Structure formats: C-alpha cells, structure tokens
Chain A
Amino acid sequence: MNFFRKYRFPIIVGLFVLGALAYFSFSAGKGVERIPAGRYLLEVAGPVQRGISGVGQWFNSIWRHYFALVQAAEENDRLRRELAALKQRTVDHDELELANRRLKKLLEFKRNLDYPMVAAEVVGTDPSSQFKTVIINKGSSDGVLPLMPVVCARGAVGRIIWASPHYAKLLLLIDPNSGVDVIVQRSRARGVVEGAPGGELRLKYVIHTEDVQPGDKVVTSGAAGVYPKGVLVGTVSKVRQEEDGAFQRVEISPAVDFGRLEEVLVMLRRRQLDQ
C-alpha cells in the first residue's frame, strides 16, 4: 500500500502510456479496418459534420452570390429583393446544373466500370495537415466496408479504411499510407503509386530499363485486388534517372483534384485476395 502511495504517479503514468502504446502497436500491426469500437462515435460525429458542412456551404453561397451583389446594387427595395431572389434562383439552378453534370459523369463512369457502386458525399476532411483522409456519408448499412475502392468521374480516389453504419473514413491516394499497384498505360511498365508531400503522387519501383515519359497516363493494374484494372490514377509529370539505385524517380499529377472532392462512388467489391 505504501509502495503504491509512494510510486502512484509513475505507476499510473506507466499503465496509461503503456496502454496507449499497446493500442498503437496493435492497430499498426492489424490494420485500421480490424479495430473494433469507436464506430458509434463516428455515427455521432458524422451528422454534426454534415450539419456544419451544410451550414458552411449555405453561408459560402450567400457570401459569394448575394452579399457581393447587394453591395454593388443601389436599386430600390422591391427591385433589390426581386433581383436577389432571382439571383438565388439562378445560383440554385447553376448548382443543380453543376451537380447534374457531375452526377451524369459519375453515372457514365459507373456504367463503364460495370461494378455495383454506391454514391456518397464528402462530409468532413482530415483536421491534420499530415494525413489525407475524408469522411463520407455512406457506411456499412449501405454495403460500404473497409478495403473497398473509391473512385470519381476523373479516376481513382482512395480506399475505405473504416466504416460505421452510416459513415466511412476514406484514405486518399495522396496519403503517405496509401499504395496502389499501377501500370503505365503506353509502355505497360509496372510500379506502386504512393502519396508524396504536397498532394502529389510518386511512382515507385520502376526499374531503369522501363520506358516512362512525362505525359504518360498511369492506370490501376488490378493486381493487388483492391482496384479493378484500368482506373485512371494520374499523369506522369516528371521522370528522373538516378545515378545510383535500380529504380527511376517518377512523379505523377493526380487525375483527381483532391481539394475539390464533393461526390464519390464506392465500388462494392472487396479485395479479392481476402475472399
């Protein structure tokens, strides 16, 4: 008893810190998709994120399309109200048209790929600058499960790493933890695409003898079992032959603008290697 009193602080600190470290090493070893619990915390956080995102978009729309106009216009009250209402309707119409175009593209893309898919909206982004994940508003009750690939009309977006019943966390291709087996479309050279600092992608393990040129399109190989073959990942932007070492340094500009992700498609296929 005296021993515990004397060493209370180091014992408690040791227990908690060791617990945290054990959890970290357990998670790192097992992979995020196998970590239990917390699912319902995401269920609570998700609607709040969605609400804040909605309010933010509304304010953004008001700021851009309404207040700017009001400042410029010196019309009478009736005309101003009418103009604002008409402008708001135009904005709504434009938004609808843009959404329609985006969804049309998604639909065409979906038809081309011929896999069962579910459309989802991005409701939250990663608060940390070092990681690249987003939260989407579809979860396990919609059939979304960890390891499922996510795409949009422009190409590959990432993969699901965590799903609660109505929300899921998506690891973007530009995150350093991400890795996709790819081929260069023109020369069929093979490699692995990983996230690089600055929101770019890096193509690794391409040996010196392979033919890779700036402008080449890079698509998924389908080999790792997560993505189907042929989904566009990006375009080669820079190739550097290293003096020493067996591989080339290849940089890729992503096909998807990750800063403007709004709607995505989750492909309802699990990694074939697991099945």
Chain B
Amino acid sequence: MRRDASRGPRALATLVLGFLLAVLGSTAFSWWALGPLRLEPLIVLVVSAGYRLPLVLGFVVVMFLGYLADLLSGGVMGLNLVIFSVIYVICQLARRKLDIASWPFQMLSVGVLSVLAHLLTAGGVTLTVPSYVPPANLPLLFLAQGLISALTAPLFFGLNEALVGLLARCWPSEYKAVP
C-alpha cells in the first residue's frame, strides 16, 4: 500500500490558502462583488480536498475551513461546517469514479456544488430563523453564483496546486513517500 506523497503539503497548502482566501473574501473580494454575487474560493478548496486528500485528514482540513468561514460570516455558527462536510463527502464519493484533473470538470463540479451549498445555506437559515422569507429571485441568484464559482474554479485550483508544488519542494524528504 503506497501513501500519497503530496498529502502533507496538500493539507497544509489547503489550510494556508483557505485562511488567506477567507480573509480576502471578507475584504478585497467584497469590493469586487457584482451586487450580491461574490467570488467563493473556499468551495473550490473543499472540492479539491474532497478529490485529492485522504478521508480523515481531508475532513479535519475541511472542518477547519468551515469553522473559519462560520467565524467570518453569518450569525449562526456551524452552518458552513455542516455544508462543507456535505460537499466534502459528495466529492469523496465521486472520486471513486471520477477524476478532477481537467478544468471543464473542475468548473462543472464547483458550479454544481456551489449551487448545492447555497441551497443548504438557505435551508439552514430557514431552519434557524423561522420568520425568514427567501427573496423571489433566489434560484436565479444561486445559478448566477454557481456560474461565477464555476468560471473562477480553475484559477483557484491552479493557485492551490502551485502552493502544493511549492510546499512539496520544502517538505522533509522522509515524509515524501512511504512504501
């Protein structure tokens, strides 16, 4: 049984990039928002973790990202944690049959899962705020947000892979490949 040599650098890269992108999401990405539509790089990192990290390590990384997202966004703690976990499990199941190496598939996966994430968020808000009435154009907004996430997915995938490559070069050699 051969362990994936890039799992350590990949986990660290996802954590570091996740932290930076979460902070950018609350500052720079908000300034470039198109009305309610924003860049959502954390979904891309969760999808990437789901396809490329081992089950337990990936879960730990994704839960950290979910907790961080909860900390910087919204009024109910735990909502992003649950949503990211669900997306991660879907990707873990999908990786048995599919590979996410090609950019069209990256875009498709991220687009579909971004729409799902927004549906789950709306469901979560409806559960926690019984008086919440979703706006009429919500499905359209979700589709538009999914499209933006899909279009920008290859960029964030590329960024993550670049950081993984960089960290892998500095990674201690005894951890690189264990037969």
Contact = CB atoms under 8 A, between A and B. Distances in A.
Interface of A: 8-9, 12-13, 16-17, 19-21, 23-28, 32, 35, 38, 41-42, 44-45, 48-49, 52-53, 56, 123-131, 133, 135, 161-162, 169, 171, 175-178, 194, 196-198, 204
Given A20-B81, A32-B76, A128 B121 contact: yes
A135 B77 contact: no
B73 A131 contact: yes
Interface string B37-65: 11010000000000000011001000100
B71 A27 contact: no
A125 B26 contact: yes
Contacts of B129: 176-177
A130 B125 contact: yes
Contacts of A161: 75
B78 A129 contact: no
Given A49-B27, A56-B31, A126-B26, A176 B132 contact: yes
Q: Is the interface of B mostly helix, strand, loop or mixed?
A: helix
Contact of A20 (B63, B132, B135): B63
Given A12-B56, A176-B132, A20 B28 contact: no
A24 B78 contact: yes
B122 interface: yes
A126 B74 contact: yes
Contact of A127 (B30, B125, B133, B141): B30
Contacts of B76: 24, 27-28, 32, 177
Contacts of B19: 44-45
A125 B25 CA distance: 8
B92 interface: yes
B164 interface: no
Interface residues of B, number: 55
Contacts of A198: 135
A183 B131 CA distance: 20
Chain A CB within 10 Å — which of B23, B124, B127, B132 has the most? Answer: B23
Nearest to A42: B71
A38 B71 contact: yes
Given A20-B66, A24-B82, A126 B89 contact: no
B67 interface: yes
B160 interface: no
B72 interface: yes
30 contacts: A9-B92, A12-B59, A16-B59, A19-B63, A20-B66, A20-B78, A24-B76, A28-B78, A28-B128, A35-B77, A41-B67, A42-B71, A42-B72, A45-B22, A45-B68, A48-B20, A56-B27, A123-B27, A126-B74, A128-B74, A129-B141, A130-B118, A131-B74, A162-B71, A176-B125, A176-B132, A177-B74, A177-B125, A197-B135, A204-B131
Contacts of A27: 76-78
A17 B75 contact: no
Chain B CB within 10 Å — which of A49, A128, A133, A169 has the most? Answer: A128
A123 B24 CA distance: 11
A169 B78 CA distance: 15
Contacts of A197: 133-135
A38 B59 CA distance: 18
